[in-house]
Amino acid sequence: MTLDPKSPAHHPAHHPDEALLLDYAAGSLDEPTSLVIATHLALCPDCRRVVAGHEAVGGVLLEETAPVEPAAGALAALMTLLDEPAAPPPVDASPIPSAPILPRPLRDYVGGDLGAVPWRKLISGIDVHDIVVGSAPNRFKTRLMRIKGGVAVPRHTHEGFELVMVVEGGFSDGGRHYDRGDVTCSDGEVDHSPVADADGGCVCLAVTDAPLRLTGPLMRLLNPFVKF
């Protein structure tokens, strides 16, 4: 397989923890984190295979679930519904771009491809766009971040959990490099400061489940409005 991350056949090198893939396959994962996992799956045939294995386990567990007799007449009622036409599929308002950067399902949540993202400036060199996930307010923040080439994201730690996937370009953090499709997950123990690639910067999808603390010297000043 080609190693060029710009090639459409590039396979990610950094994958989500298997436990997250299992949560996703079992259907127990929250919607924001599921969005990151599903977007990674669009770019990662390897993890799709892992999830297929988890689903096979789900199939066996379903077959072994203690059966509960359906209500009387359930089958007869169902048989009368078979000829009813299915509700028409929802009209897809946004036409499929020929070579989209954002894979589905991310494109659906954003409402278009990368070019359609209504960025707002967070601080110099960093733009963000918050994605609405789920109808009820929740403790997660889901956002796209666009980081200019060579810009370092302010040093920070997490009280909770942060899952980041590279959508375009790349960044380096703690001696590792992340390209399109690569995922990194951090929790309270990690104090890190990712730096976007000098050539072209980086667009990431990030989900956090708690506000992060900035630990650099200047960051206390930024804290009131830098809420990643």
Partner 1 sequence: MPATRALVLDGVFAFNGVMSDVPPLTALEVTVDGVARATPATPESSLDDLVVAVARNRDRAAFAALFERVAPRLKGYLMRLGAGASHADELTQEVMLLVWRRADAFDPGQARAATWIFTIARNKRIDGIRRARRPEIDPHDPALVPDRPLSADMAIESVEDAARLRTALRDLPPEQADLLRLVYFEDQPHSVIAKTLGLPLGTVKSRLRLAMDRLRRAMGETR
44 binds Zn ion (CB under 5 A): yes
In whole angstroms, give the CA distance from residue 130 to residue 110.
Answer: 9
- How near is the Cβ of 12 to Zn ion at its closest, in Å? 5
- How near is the Cβ of 129 to partner 1 at its closest, in Å? 17
In whole angstroms, give the CA distance from residue 76 to residue 65.
Answer: 23
- How near is the Cβ of 180 to partner 1 at its closest, in Å? 9
In whole angstroms, give the CA distance from residue 14 to residue 49.
Answer: 15
CA dihedral 223→220→218→177, nearest 10 degrees, is -50
Q: Which is nearer to partner 1, 19 or 91 (CB)?
A: 19
Which residues inside 7-26 make contact with Zn ion, applying CB under 5 A? 15
- Dihedral class, residue 175 (left if φ above 0, else alpha if ψ from -120 to 50, else beta): left
Binding partner of residue 170 among Zn ion, partner 1, none, CB under 5 to 8 Å per kind? none
Q: Which is nearer to Zn ion, 44 or 214 (CB)?
A: 44
158 binds Zn ion (CB under 5 A): no
Per-residue b or e along 134-159, where b marks 16 or more CB atoms closer than 10 Å to that residue's CB? eeeeeebbbbbbbbeeebbbbbbbbe
Binding partner of residue 124 among Zn ion, partner 1, none, CB under 5 to 8 Å per kind? none
Q: How many chain residues are in contact with Zn ion, going by CB under 5 A?
A: 3
Q: Which stretch binds Zn ion (CB under 5 A): 26-34, 41-49, 111-119, 125-133?
A: 41-49
- How near is the Cβ of 76 to partner 1 at its closest, in Å? 10
Q: Which is nearer to partner 1, 83 or 124 (CB)?
A: 83
Per-residue b or e along 36-64, where b marks 16 or more CB atoms closer than 10 Å to that residue's CB? bbbbbbbbbeebeebbeebeeeeeeeeee
- Residues interacting with Zn ion, by CB under 5 A? 15, 44, 47
